[in-house]
Amino acid sequence: MATTNDAMYVALRAMYPTAGHTLGDLLYAHWSVTGLQYRGSLQYDYYVAQDIEGYTVKRTNLVQNPNFETNVLFTEVSNSGSGIATRSTAESYIGNASCAAYPTPALGFLVVGTPTANRMPVTAGQTYTASFYIKSTVSRNAYISFRYYNAAGAQIQDSNSTSTATSTTQWQRRSVTATAPALAVTSNVYMIVENVPSGEVHYLDARLLETGSTLLPYFDGTYTDTYTGYTVASKAWNGTENNSPSIVKWNPNVTVGDLANKFWSDPDTSVSNLQDELGNDLLLEDGSFMLLEAGNV
């Protein structure tokens, strides 16, 4: 019995006999000719909604309070003595606020991390990438440390990345990528600035922690940095705004032809859910959605 796919394939093969032999090849050729290959079309929206594998990118920022927009919850400061962390609107990398951190008393390591009760659960063998932005009035050595803990709460390993701040007036990013070791069940991501005298303020913002080994642009449930080649499809907080992990979906700036080629690479891809508001089967036969009954090509 002929299917909608068969009818579409026969029609497009007749129109583009040298374009290729898969339905994806034919659709790509068709939209390239008709000019409907650009974003914003109904066709593009449909394919994006299918979460075409290899195109839609879903990312999760595991930091509960990444940009300090409302408070400095889940954040503590320590050094060789003690320290202060407070929300500040004097500086911000993204949004309207940042964390202003400084040590008391003098000269030591300014360590901004997560309290014991809020350590991030980790999976042994899983790779994570963490980053943050820092702005200071004095150039200091700044880096990140993954500190891993076992089920008993004992620290078992550090994984550090060190780099020297070369600008004292611009926001700079620091990052580290590491794989959770055997027996690790939680981790604390510390942001460390070396040799800071008492009262010297360092601003921290835009914390990002996600699985994977690639440092990608910052995002949270409200704000996103430019992700070259991609457009934000959706973003949301997993719980309380600014105080929970967040998820963003990104769609690449590809053509509807690219998406169709991926979606229809299997000539037997089902189109049973590709219907108009009246329940009619739709077929992209002339570059727009229309009804085409199999056998009436």
Q: Which two tokens stand for residue 137?
A: 């009035």
Determine, yes or no, domain membership for 234: no
Q: State whether 79 and 99 are in the same domain.
A: yes
Query: What pLDDT, on the 0 to 100 scale, is given for residue 165?
Result: 65
Report pLDDT for 286: 34
87 and 173 share one domain: yes
Q: What is the pLDDT of residues 16-72, one digit of tens each?
A: 888 877 777 777 777 677 655 455 565 666 666 666 666 788 999 999 999 999 999
Task: Please report, for the domain that includes residue 205, its CATH number.
Answer: 2.60.120.260
pLDDT band at 294 (very low <50, low <70, confident <90, very high): very low
User: Rounded to whole angstroms, how far apart are CA atoms 44 and 25?
Assistant: 16
* 275 or 24, higher pLDDT: 24
Q: Provide mean pLDDT across the span 277-297.
A: 39
Do 50 and 116 reside in the same domain of the chain?
Answer: no
Residues 139 and 108 in one domain: yes
261: pLDDT strictly greater than 90: no
> Whose structure tokens read 């990140």?
144
Q: Which residue type is seen at 28?
A: Y
Residue 295: the pLDDT is 33
Is the residue at 240 inside a domain? Answer: no
Count CB-CB contacts under 10 A for residue 154: 9
Give the number of C-alpha atoms closer than 13 A to the C-alpha of residue 278, restricted to the C-beta side: 5
Q: Is residue 282 part of a domain?
A: yes
Residue 43, amino acid:
Q
Tell me the C-alpha distance between 208 and 175, whole Å.
9
State the CB neighbour count (10 A cutoff) for residue 201.
Answer: 19
Choose one of 166, 201, 216: the last residue of a domain.
216
Task: Examine the pLDDT at 288 and tell me if it is beyond 70.
Answer: no
Average pLDDT over residues 278-290: 42
Q: Grade residue 80 by pLDDT with cuts at 50, 70 and 90.
A: low
Determine, yes or no, domain membership for 238.
no
Q: Is residue 245 predicted with pLDDT exceeding 70?
A: yes
Between residues 286 and 204, the one the model is more confident about: 204
Reported confidence tier of residue 122, pLDDT bands at 50, 70, 90: very high
Q: Are residues 76 and 211 in the same domain?
A: yes
Same domain, yes or no, for 42 and 89?
Answer: no
Q: Are residues 163 and 78 in the same domain?
A: yes
The percent of residues in the chain predicted with pLDDT above 90, rounded, is: 39
Looking at every residue in the chain, the average pLDDT score rounds to 79
Q: In whole angstroms, how far apart are CA 155 and each of 99, 129, 269?
A: 26, 19, 51
Domain count along the chain: 2
Range of the domain at 98: 65-216
**Burial track 119-142 (b if 16+ CB lie within 10 A, e otherwise):** bbebeeeeebbbbbbbbbeeebeb
Phi, psi dihedral angles at 24 (to 5 degrees):
-65, -45
Q: How far apart are CA 73 and CA 69, in angstroms?
A: 10
d(CA 108, CA 83): 10
Better-scored residue on pLDDT, 264 or 288? 264
Integer angstrom CA distances of residue 132 from 74, 85, 87, 217? 15, 15, 16, 11
Same domain as 50, residue 86: no
Q: Which 8-state DSSP code applies to residue 274?
A: -
Same domain, 192 and 290: no
On whether both 144 and 273 belong to a single domain, the answer is no
Confidence bin at 77 (pLDDT 50/70/90) = confident
221 lies in some domain:
no
Confidence of residue 15 (pLDDT cuts 50, 70, 90): confident
Residues 73 and 198 in one domain: yes
pLDDT single digits (tens) 129-180: 999 999 988 888 888 889 999 999 999 988 877 666 666 678 999 999 999 9
Last residue of a domain, one of 184, 216, 248: 216
Considering only residues 93 and 108, tell me which one the structure prediction assigns the higher pLDDT: 93
My answer on whether 14 and 90 are in the same domain is: no
Please tell me which residue, 2 or 249, carries the higher pLDDT value.
249
**267 pLDDT higher than 50:** yes
pLDDT-derived band at 265, boundaries 50, 70, 90: low
Is 233 domain-assigned?
no
Is the pLDDT at 274 greater than 80? The verdict is no
Long-range contacts at 43-48 (CB < 8 A, ≥ 24 apart) = 43/256, 43/260, 43/284, 43/289, 44/255, 44/256, 44/259, 46/274, 47/256, 47/259, 47/260, 47/262, 47/263, 48/233, 48/251, 48/259
Considering the domain boundaries, does residue 225 fall inside one? no
Residue 279's contacts (CB-CB under 8 Å, 6 or more residues apart) are none
Per the confidence metrics, is the pTM higher than 0.75?
A: no
**Is 117 a member of any domain?**
yes
Is the link from the previous residue into 115 a cis peptide, with omega within 30 of 0?
no
Domain closes at, from 159, 191, 216: 216
